[in-house]
Structure 1
């Protein structure tokens, strides 16, 4: 079972997932990074380029704060590309001494999801503000704006945009655009659009194009994904 709510952290979502026996649904790429509290461990989910399946069974409910693209690197002080397709413990990203107080707070919390959100807010208050240019880039790409037009709109050359994107998003703008396009299509599928209709409205050439991206980025078929929806 999965549930989520808007966070007090701007643009973020607080989520909870209970993983039962046989639940092997992957977490799909979305351009975001998460703070995670799973089985008494505080970790970070870097930006994914493919569907992620947990390596080991989870004994307790997972909770997380999913931060919008380009936000988490400012909080962590680490470029996003250094965490791409990884789930490291926060103590491995920082020194254990720095991460320890946050782990102790969460272990003592009656509501780990609310406490994890408070941790994210405390980190934001103590960190430089995220690069507003990255927010503008992500918003334009999420709306389907071409990469070249996005670079022109924010006043960057192609190489500059690629470099800023690697640090902020974990991969180049073309990959981010591809991930966000897939998320647009899947959002339409969840809203009961047909595969063909979702493909066209999300900016794909046709349903076959969407199906290829779905397989490449998630390892799933469209019908397999639809069958897993509640």
Structure 2
């Protein structure tokens, strides 16, 4: 059997992280999982192997087998990963990158020792969160909140650029650095994520299409195929 749970991060990290989470898989429940785009970046630690890695912002499905054991993760607020990781988000797009490729080996070694000494999931989450916070440098792009709001509203790229006082080229470059996507792809990913959340909450597909901002169910179906690789009903299981 596999289980997944999220909780809010510690107060000190709430400006940087949106949640901490853990997935546990029993040996008899090893199975394939499909991770779909959500414009988020996560740092993860596998308790059984000690592996630490980063999952960048995806543009398509990432299908992998869940290994038996516990996977602990922390998730950045959208647009905030460059502060915690020290690299632009587009450098991680569609990638799974070992943490020691981004941070100094001595820092990664210390973190590995601290995580290995944890006796509980909650303690491991707190250690991983603190490590991300300790390494944070600078500030997120101040345009991030406005860009997210505009992208969710369905504003045209030109309108988004005008609203935040940038040219379209500047907006594209800064969106790539913060989110890993240009503004148009960011819009599509956010709309897709909203649709998946609505569907998982039990909303009918026709209402999902309308409430998430799609032209019709056919439009929704095409976008789900593009981002998930399977129909929405299959994705929901």
Gaps of 5+ in 2: none
C-alpha displacement at 1:59, in angstroms? 2.9
CA contact under 8 A between 2:86 and 2:102: conserved in structure 1? no
CA contact under 8 A between 1:147 and 1:177: conserved in structure 2? no
CA contact under 8 A between 1:144 and 1:202: conserved in structure 2? no
CA contact under 8 A between 2:32 and 2:66: conserved in structure 1? no
**Equivalence map 1:64-143=2 (5 Å):** 64-110=73-119, 111-124=123-136, 127-143=137-153
Partner Cα distance (2:158, 2:218) in 1: 25
Q: In the superposition, relative to structure 1, how do residues 59 and 42 fare at CA in structure 2: closer, same or farther (>3 Å)?
A: same
Partner Cα distance (2:197, 2:213) in 1: 13
For residue 16 of structure 1, what is the aligned residue in structure 2? 22
For residue 34 of structure 2, what is the aligned residue in structure 1? 26
Partner Cα distance (1:99, 1:132) in 2: 29
CA contact under 8 A between 2:20 and 2:74: conserved in structure 1? yes
For the residue of structure 2 that corresponds to 1:12, the secondary structure is: strand
- The two structures have a TM-score, normalised by structure 1, of 0.90
C-alpha displacement at 1:147, in angstroms? 2.9
C-alpha displacement at 1:22, in angstroms? 4.7
For residue 7 of structure 1, what is the aligned residue in structure 2? 9
For residue 191 of structure 1, what is the aligned residue in structure 2? 201
Gaps of 5+ in 1: none
For the residue of structure 2 that corresponds to 1:142, the secondary structure is: helix
Q: In the superposition, relative to structure 1, how do residues 67 and 84 fare at CA in structure 2: closer, same or farther (>3 Å)?
A: same
For the residue of structure 2 that corresponds to 1:185, the secondary structure is: helix
CA contact under 8 A between 2:56 and 2:96: conserved in structure 1? yes
- The two structures have a TM-score, normalised by structure 2, of 0.88
C-alpha displacement at 1:135, in angstroms? 2.8
For the residue of structure 2 that corresponds to 1:74, the secondary structure is: helix
The root-mean-square deviation of aligned C-alpha atoms, in Å, is: 1.7
For the residue of structure 2 that corresponds to 1:18, the secondary structure is: strand
C-alpha displacement at 1:84, in angstroms? 0.8
Deviations 1:89-141 (A, max 9, x none): 110123323322222211112232222122223233xx112112123212331
For residue 63 of structure 1, what is the aligned residue in structure 2? 72
